[in-house]
């Protein structure tokens, strides 16, 4: 069954605003991943986190691996129209385990 929860399910924001979304799990993960999917395409890896408490940035994106190892968040600063898409968190419980995906957060940016 579904093991990851993402919130919010969808967001509508004005261009230039900051965005925050998060992901929680009932289990401990040792790796957290954030992906973005554009319509008709496969997911693209944005940020990978490997250590509890780790804070990692990729341009305007910042993600953190929660201290409890059961959550992660993704922030996008100064959103632009091309940020539109579905953002998936994903995680794995051990280094050799499969990656499990959350249900996604749909982001819409109003110019």
Partner 1 sequence: NAGVMQNPRHLVRRRGQEARLRCSPMKGHSHVYWYRQLPEEGLKFMVYLQKENIIDESGMPKERFSAEFPKEGPSILRIQQVVRGDSAAYFCASSPGGSGYGYTFGSGTRLTVV
The residues binding partner 1 (CB under 8 A) are: 30-31, 33, 35, 40-45, 48, 50, 88, 92, 95-96, 98-104
Minimum distance from CB of 1 to partner 1 (Å)? 11
Between CA 68 and CA 40 the distance in angstroms is 35
Distance (Å, whole) CA 56 – CA 63: 5
How far is it, in rounded angstroms, from Cα 36 to Cα 76? 12
Q: Which is nearer to partner 1, 5 or 75 (CB)?
A: 5
- Give least dist CB 16 to partner 1, A: 28
Indicate the residue among 30 and 75 with the shorter CB distance to partner 1: 30
Neighbours of 53 (CB within 10 A): 10
């Amino acid at each position: 069954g579904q093991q990851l929860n993402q919130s919010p399910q969808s967001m509508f924001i004005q261009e230039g605003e900051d965005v925050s979304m998060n992901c929680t799990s009932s289990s401990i993960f040792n790796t957290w991943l954030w992906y973005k999917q554009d319509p008709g395409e496969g997911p693209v890896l944005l940020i990978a986190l490997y250590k509890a408490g780790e804070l990692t940035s990729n341009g305007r994106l910042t993600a953190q691996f929660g201290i409890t190892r059961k959550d992660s968040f993704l922030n996008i600063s100064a959103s632009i129209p091309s940020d539109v898409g579905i953002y998936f968190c994903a995680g794995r419980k051990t280094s050799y385990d499969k990656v499990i995906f959350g249900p996604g957060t749909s982001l819409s940016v109003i110019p």
